Structure 1
Amino acid sequence: MKKIYVFGNGNISWDNFHRFYIEPIKECNLSECEFLIGDFTGTDTLMMEFLKDKTSNVTILSYRRETKIFCKYIQLPGGKLENNWRISNG
């Protein structure tokens, strides 16, 4: 399984996010990837939004209580409200 670490700019536009983060992984089979994501605003939360209906292979490297609440209630395909995302307290 490929590990993809996502972190970066806290002030990035949606267009630049797609250009620098989504385009490079577009050809990957997301079910064969594990994502490790921080819990900062910007790139980290945009990637959470992008992945929420695409894969459950996500680990959030979290320092904040709000992140745990957000990840617990992400809407997944088929109307599911729970997911298998993992949260690692740093």
Structure 2
Amino acid sequence: MRVVKTMALTEKAFLETLPRALDSDAYTWDGERAVLARDGRVLSVTFRPQPVACLGGFRIPRADETLDFAGYSEADAEAALARFERYFHRGGG
């Protein structure tokens, strides 16, 4: 299963949140991709910065994240994706 998302965050914020979103700090990071391999499954999360969005006086960092789930059942992939989204969710007002 592959999921592509565009998020409003910096690489620093991504890396600070990632261990909680993955429920593990046992992943590798090569500067663009985090890979978590456990229990015969592999989750790869690729982080690609995009141009900053400017709205009036606001500058909003953006990045594309691609999540690739290998060896996951559909239910397990959906649960892992829900956790990822919950930890990266930013409220608005």
Larger Rg: 2
Give the structure with the higher percent strand: 2
TM over 0.5, shorter chain:
no
Normalising TM by the smaller chain, what interval? under 0.3
**With structure 1 as the length reference, what TM-score do the two structures score?**
0.27
**More RCO (CA 8 Å, sep 6+):** 2
Give the structure with the higher percent helix: 1
**With structure 2 as the length reference, what TM-score do the two structures score?**
0.27
